[in-house]
Amino acid sequence: MRNVIIQLAASLDDKITAEPVRRQLMNNGSNMPPAPSSPEAPTPSAADADQTRPKVKRILVVDDERVNLKVLSGFLQAFGHEVLAADSGFRALEMLDDSIDLILLDIMMPEMDGFTVAQAVRETPETAQTPIIMVTALSDRQDKLRAVQAGANDFISKPIDKTELKVRTESLLRMKASQDELKHYQQQLENMVKARTEALRRAMQNLAESQANILKAHIETILILSSAAEYKDNETAQHIKRMSWMASILAEELGMPQSEVELVHRASPMHDIGKIGVPDAILLKPGKLTPEEWVVMREHTTIGSRILENSTSDLLQAGSIIAMTHHEKWDGSGYPKGLAGEDIPLYGRISAVADVFDALTSKRPYKEAFSNEVALDIMAKGRGSHFDPAVYDAFLRRFEDFRSIQQQLADT
C-alpha cells in the first residue's frame, strides 16, 4: 500500500508542477501574433482526419483494489488509451467483448481469481486471441507457470513501474494490431472468395439455363425435322415419340449411364430422317417395291447419316449413327453396310428393336397394324439373326413398359 501511495503522490506532483507552466504558456500565447496561413495547404476533411488518426486502444483493467484500478487507469490514459475498469472477475467477463485490445488482470482476487478469468477469456471464441498481462505481487515460479497455462501472455510485478508498463503494453498492443490486421485481411479474402463464388455460381446457372434453352430449341428442331420425314411417309409424330421412349427403356435396361440413356432418347427420333430424301412415289407406294425401288428406299439410311454427320454435337453424332445402322442385322444381312454382331453400334442395335416393334404394331401404307402377340411371335424369330440377343431379351423383360408407352402415345 505504501508503494501505491508513493505512486499517487508522484502522479499528483507531476500535475502540480505542470500547472504553472501551462498557465504561463497560455498567457504568453494570448500575446503572440497569429500564425500565417498558407493558401497552398488544403484544409483536411473530417474523413481524412479519421483515416490518419491512430485508433485508440481499449484496455480492460481488472483489480479488486480501487486504488490499484485508479493508478493503472491513470497511467494507461496518460499513454493515450481508453480504459475500462472492472473491480471483479465477474464484472470483467460481463464487460468483455472483441473490441478489447488488451487485458491487465490482477491474479489475487476474491470469488474469481485471475487464473479463472484468463481461462474464461481463452475459452470464449471472440476473445481467445486477446492479449493478457497478469499484474501480480507473486514471484513463485509455479504461480507464473499456472498463469501461462491459463492464457497469460506477459507479467508485470507490483509495485507498477510506469516505464515497464508502457513497454509491455505497447509490445502486446502491436501484436494485437498485427493479429487484427491479419484477421481483417482474411475476412476481406473470405468476402472476396464468397463474392466471386456467388458470381461464378450465377454465371454457371446462367450458362446452364442458356445451354438448356439451346438444347430445348435443338431438340424441338430435331423433332420437327424428324416429324417432317415421318409425315412424308404417312406415319405420325406419335411413332417417333413411342420409338424414342422404347429405345431409352432398352438403354436403361442394358445398364447404360443415365447420360447415354438420355442421348439415346433424344437421338433415336432421327432414325428415319433420311426419308426426307426418298421420292414420295416410293415412300407412299401401297404395294411391294421393285428391286430398283428397294435400292432407293435403302438409301434413306445413308442420306440421314450424311445430313447429321458433320455436326460437332454429341446428340447429332448419335443421331447420325442411329440413322446409318438401325437397319443392320445381327447376322450381317442388314443394310447399308452389312455389319454383323457387335460391329453394329449399340445405339443402332437398340433402335432396331424399338423401331421394328413399333412398326409392326402400327399401320403403314402397305399393311395394317399387327397385334402385340403377332409382333412378339415375329420378333422372337429374329432373335440372334435380326436382333442382338441381349437387346431382345431386355425388350422382353421390359415389355410391360412398352405396352404402357403404346397406351399413352397411341395414334389418334
* pLDDT tens track for 153-198: 998 888 889 999 999 999 999 999 998 888 888 889 999 999 999 9
What pLDDT score does 228 carry? Answer: 63
Mapping DSSP onto H, E and C, the string for 118-171 reads: HHHHHHCCCCCCCCEEEEECCCCHHHHHHHHHHCCCEEEECCCCHHHHHHHHHH
371 and 250 co-located in one domain: yes
Domain boundary among the residues 158, 180, 202 is at 180
pLDDT > 90 in the chain, percent: 54
State how far the Cα of 165 lies from the Cα of 126, in Å rounded to an integer. Answer: 25
pLDDT value, residue 229 = 62
R_g of the chain computed on alpha carbons: 45
On whether both 399 and 263 belong to a single domain, the answer is yes
Domain match, 67 and 149 both? yes
* pLDDT tens-digit map of 58-88: 999 999 999 999 999 999 999 999 999 999 9
Task: List the CATH number of the domain containing 134.
Answer: 3.40.50.2300
Task: Check whether residue 170 and residue 285 sit in a common domain.
Answer: no
Domain count, the chain: 2
Residues 6+ apart with CB under 8 A from 287: 366
> What are the CA-CA distances from residue 86 to residues 48, 72, 89, 90, 331 (Å)?
35, 12, 7, 9, 96
| In a shared domain, residues 141 and 72 | yes
Among the residue ranges 14-18, 206-210, 369-373, the one predicted with the least confidence is: 14-18
Average confidence score pLDDT of the chain: 84
The pair phi, psi for residue 135, each rounded to 5°, is -105, 115
Kindly state whether residues 140 and 247 are assigned to the same domain.
Answer: no
Look at residue 146 and tell me if it is in a domain: yes
Q: Tell me whether residue 201 is in a domain.
A: no
Distance CA 366, CA 375 (A): 16
Residue 106 within any structural domain of the chain: yes
Residue 216 counted as domain residue: no
Mean pLDDT value of segment 358-373:
88
Given a cut of 80, is residue 364 above it in pLDDT? no
Helices 2-31 and 66-78: angle between axes, nearest 10 degrees? 40
Q: What is the CATH number of the domain that holds 291?
A: 1.10.3210.10
53 falls in which pLDDT band (50, 70, 90)? low
Residue 279 and residue 161 share a domain: no
Segments in 32-88 forming alpha helices (H): 46-52, 66-78
Q: How far is CA 366 from the centre of its chain?
A: 58
Indicate whether 97 belongs to any domain. Answer: yes
**Model pLDDT, residue 20:** 38
Q: Can you name the residues that pair with 75 across neighbouring β-strands? A: none
- Of 213, 121, 114, the C-alpha closest to 155 is 114
| One domain for residues 151 and 297 | no
pLDDT at 4: 37
Q: Are residues 129 and 237 in the same domain?
A: no
Residue 81 contacts residue 172 (beta carbons within 8 Å): no
For range 18-39, the mean pLDDT: 40
Q: Tell me the residue range of the domain where 263 lies.
A: 233-408
CB 130 within 8 A of CB 124: no
Grid cell for residue 122: 481463452
Cell of 343: 460391329
What pLDDT, on a 0 to 100 scale, did the predictor assign at position 208?
A: 85
The verdict on 251 and 394 lying in the same domain is yes
In this structure, is residue 18 part of a structural domain? no
Final residue in a domain of this structure, among 180, 202, 223: 180
The pLDDT confidence band at residue 6, using thresholds 50, 70 and 90, is very low
Q: Is 109 helix (H, G, I), strand (E, B) or coil?
A: coil
The whole-angstrom separation of Cα 105 and Cα 236 is: 89
% the chain with pLDDT above 70: 82
Our separate counts of H helices and E strands in the chain read 16, 5
Mean pLDDT along residues 378-383: 97
* CB within 8 Å of 184: residues ≥ 6 apart: none
Residue 211 banded pLDDT, cuts 50, 70, 90: confident
**Greater pLDDT, 325 or 307:** 325
Q: Please, are residues 226 and 270 in contact by the beta-carbon 8 Å criterion?
A: yes
Q: Report yes or no on 395 lying in a domain.
A: yes
Q: Which of 180, 204, 225 is the last residue of a domain?
A: 180
Q: Across residues 225-237, what is the average pLDDT?
A: 60
Asked whether residue 245 is assigned to any structural domain, the reply reads yes
**b or e along 1-27 (b: 16 or more beta carbons within 10 Å of the residue's beta carbon)?**
eeebeebeeebeeeeeeeeeeeeeeee
Note whether 340 and 330 are within 8 A (CB).
yes
- Candidate ranges 139-143, 223-227, 394-398; pick with highest mean pLDDT: 394-398
Q: Do 254 and 383 belong to one domain?
A: yes
Say yes or no: 277 and 173 in one domain. no
